[in-house]
Every structure is written in structure tokens, then in C-alpha cells.
């Protein structure tokens, strides 16, 4: 299975070279593939039909310590998340701040822009994004351009 190879590669790279940044370049846009790779330590996931500019942006973003997911992947995960009601997100325990950050991510804002908007640090935004990922078990619902 292709996902297994991607996940295995990401896991092995992260275990053997923990400082290595991993971006998966693939043709797969399935949620299960994406989640598997992210769980294995990849910081980026881009589909191979992205523009050269988006690929460069992904590399720069990941090299700066942030995560990056193709816009189509982020949109797919957002759409998937958006199908659930806000009552469901309340049941999942999202705080008001997490809901605010999620809404800004859904608008395509970068972590840096969100930090500026909310007058908090980029690290705080990244921590909230990480916690949202865990709570929603939908890693890419809070990803996008950085």
C-alpha cells in the first residue's frame, strides 16, 4: 500500500535523523493517507500537481519549523470538518481560543498572521493548532499556508 511506504519512510527518517524535515510529495489526497503520514512525523504533505511556487513555499515553510499542507488538502480536510456541527466541536472540547484560531486558519491565515491578529506568539498559535489536531483527529483541518 502506498500510504504504508510514505508512512514508513517518514517514520524511519524521523527516527534515524530527528532534525530532518519531511515533506511528502504524492498524488494521494485521501484523508487516511494524509493522517497516516502526519502521525509518522512528516511536517508537510503536498500533492504533485501543485505549482512550482507552492512547492517552494512548502519547502521554505517546513524549513522554518512550521507545517505545510497543499491548499487542496487543507480545503478537503476543512470541508470534512465543516460537515460536523458546531455542537460536535463543543463535544470535542475545543476552547473558544481554539475555535477562533481554527476559523482564522480556515480563512487561509498563516500562523504568523494569526499570532499578529490575536497578539500572541507564533509558538502559542502552533501549540493551539497542535491541540486542535489532537482533539479533532483531523490533522489537516488546521493546516494550510504558513
Task: Provide the pLDDT for residue 82.
Answer: 63
Global pTM reads: 0.53
Question: Sorting pLDDT into bands at 50, 70 and 90, what band is 29?
Answer: confident
Whole-angstrom CA distances from 122 to 42, 66, 85 are: 20, 10, 28
Contact criterion met (CB below 8 Å) for 129 and 104:
no
Q: What is the rounded distance in angstroms from the CA atom of residue 112 to the CA atom of residue 125?
A: 8
Radius of gyration of the chain (CA): 15
Mind listing the pLDDT tens digit for each residue in 46-80? 888 888 888 898 899 899 888 888 877 776 766 66
Class of domain 2-142: alpha beta
Task: Provide the pLDDT for residue 59.
Answer: 92
- 6-10, 14-18, 118-122, 135-139: the lowest-pLDDT one: 135-139
User: Quick check: 91 pLDDT over 80?
Assistant: no
Any idea where the domains of the chain sit in the sequence?
2-142
User: Quick check: 122 pLDDT over 50?
Assistant: yes
Q: How many CB atoms lie within 10 A of CB 21?
A: 19
E runs forming strands in the chain: 23-26, 44-47, 68-69
Contact criterion met (CB below 8 Å) for 28 and 37:
no
Mean per-residue pLDDT of the chain: 78
User: Quick check: 85 pLDDT over 70?
Assistant: no
The residue-averaged pLDDT of 107-129 equals 87
Between 96 and 144, name the one with better pLDDT: 96
Amino acid at each position: 500500500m502506498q500510504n504504508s511506504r510514505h508512512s514508513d519512510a517518514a517514520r524511519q527518517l524521523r527516527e534515524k535523523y530527528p532534525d530532518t524535515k519531511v515533506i511528502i510529495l504524492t498524488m494521494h489526497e485521501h484523508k487516511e493517507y494524509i493522517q497516516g503520514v502526519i502521525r509518522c512525523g512528516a511536517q508537510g504533505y503536498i500533492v504533485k500537481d501543485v505549482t512550482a511556487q507552492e512547492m517552494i513555499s512548502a519547502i521554505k515553510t517546513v524549513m522554518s519549523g512550521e507545517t505545510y499542507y497543499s491548499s487542496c488538502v487543507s480545503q478537503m480536510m476543512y470541508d470534512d470538518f465543516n460537515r460536523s456541527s458546531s455542537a460536535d466541536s463543543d463535544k470535542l472540547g475545543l476552547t473558544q481560543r481554539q475555535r477562533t484560531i481554527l476559523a482564522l486558519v480556515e480563512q487561509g491565515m498563516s500562523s504568523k498572521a494569526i499570532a499578529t491578529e490575536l497578539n500572541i506568539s507564533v509558538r502559542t498559535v502552533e501549540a493551539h493548532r497542535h491541540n486542535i489536531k489532537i482533539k479533532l483527529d483531523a490533522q489537516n483541518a488546521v493546516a494550510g499556508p504558513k
